[in-house]
Amino acid sequence: MDISTIHLRKVSLPLRNPFKTHQGELHQRSVIIVVAKDCQGLQGYGEVTAFPSPFYTAETLETAWHMLIDIIFPIIKDEPLHHPSDFIEMTAFIQGNQMAKAGMEGALWDLYAKQNQVSLGELIGGIHSSVKAGAVLSLSHSLEKDINHLKHSGYERYKLKVEKGREKEMIEQAQAIDPGLAIMIDANGMYTEQNLDHLFSLDQLGLLMIEQPFQAGDFYLHKQAQKQMDTPLCLDESIMSLHDAKQAIKLESCRVINIKISRVGGLMTATNIHDFCQEHGIPVWCGGMVETGISKAHNIALSSLPNFTIPGDLSSSDRYFNKDLLLKPIKVENGKIDVPNGHGIGVEVDESFLEKMTYQSYLWSPK
């Protein structure tokens, strides 16, 4: 691959509304935008979606910044890179740091697709021309107002962030607004073995699924709970790699898997997990990270693969931001988002706004 420069930008965007879970509250979304440029002037964009603090995974924006500059860039300089899929082998020795890897790999995939004049969705084998939209409702949202607004746009799946002990109340509140809503809850690993009976009490509420009830890596408790519950359990934080997905499926620890490009280390691993799940009859959906339109575009391309049968955390650009980093925002129409068919991720970045919102940058060349 022809790479002349890689530009890192730390960007901070104010959120339209605070995004609150039992783990904390966000008012600003800071990310790292990775821009890989070739000698012809084509630019590929990736996004590092780590948070400032390690509440979701062990990574932070600062650790990702360090990994990219001090570890990953020298690898790209010293080893031949012919295709974005080479990157996974080049960085295999790096333990963890999945979000740093994913941000860099994403820029490579976008650039490679543009160099070959093909859309990213087509490049990875996507078959869908549009994907179904799903919304996340944080603890700071007004359920009735937000659900009615989202229903008007046709969103097909609603994920509730919940507080332990108030789940039934919050679920029934949403169901009262519309009994036909496809509702799931996201526990973000807040339950323990002592909460099994409490978890079982949610089994009769008609949920689409319960996401990540126990802590990341605990396949045993998820297996024990899934054996006794009709409601499908979905794993999120537990799936950091293809090996994790294989382990979860072989142990029957879940019936659904949430694939996040950034959490599993990049698009190559995400597609491999998709393929394995498809082979074993496990439906998947694409999770979100309160990200900008750059990351959303990557997620939309991934979601065009055939086994993404459940609406993901795929929403319009104005869901979280008054202004996104794209010139033309991503929109949900009749509950769906069109898969971009332009070259690469198929969206155009607002370069002047990206520059305006950048508070730290680093320009690197492999030459």
Domains of the chain: 5-117+350-364 (3.30.390.10), 122-338 (3.20.20.120)
pLDDT of residue 49: 97
Q: Of 10, 161, 296, 336, which residue is the catalytic one?
A: 161
Instruction: Say yes or no to pLDDT of 148 above 70.
Output: yes
Helices (H) and strands (E) in the chain — how many of each? 14, 13
pLDDT, one tens digit per residue, over 61-80 is 999 999 999 999 999 998 88
Which of the four pLDDT bands, split at 50, 70 and 90, describes residue 22? low
Instruction: Say yes or no to pLDDT of 362 above 90.
Output: yes
3-state helix, strand, coil in the chain (%, to 5): 35, 25, 40
Range in 11-20, 82-91, 163-172 with the lowest mean pLDDT: 11-20
Which of the four pLDDT bands, split at 50, 70 and 90, describes residue 27? confident
Stretch 148-175: mean pLDDT, rounded? Answer: 90
Helix intervals (H) in the chain? 61-66, 73-78, 86-90, 98-115, 120-123, 143-153, 167-177, 196-200, 219-228, 242-250, 261-264, 267-279, 293-303, 351-357
Instruction: Say yes or no to pLDDT of 184 above 70.
Output: yes
pLDDT of residue 46: 98
Instruction: Say yes or no to pLDDT of 8 above 80.
Output: yes
Residue 188 falls in which region: left (phi positive, over 0), alpha (psi -120 to 50) or beta: left
Quick one: 120 exposed, middle or buried, by C-beta within 10 A (0-12, 13-18, 19+)? buried
What is the reported pTM?
0.94
Instruction: Say yes or no to pLDDT of 23 above 80.
Output: no
Q: Percent of the chain scored above 70 by pLDDT?
A: 97
Give the C-alpha separation, 245 to 249, whole Å. 6
Which of the four pLDDT bands, split at 50, 70 and 90, describes residue 24? low
260 is catalytic: yes
Q: Of 10, 260, 296, 336, which residue is the catalytic one?
A: 260
Which of the four pLDDT bands, split at 50, 70 and 90, describes residue 140? low
Instruction: Say yes or no to pLDDT of 1 above 90.
Output: no
Q: Chain-wide mean pLDDT for the chain?
A: 94
Instruction: Say yes or no to pLDDT of 138 above 80.
Output: no
Q: Please state, as a whole number, how many other Cβ atoms lie within 10 Å of the Cβ of residue 164.
A: 13
- CB–CB of 285/291 below 8 Å? no
pLDDT of residue 143: 81
pLDDT, one tens digit per residue, over 310-339 is 999 999 988 889 899 999 999 999 999 999
pLDDT of residue 141: 61
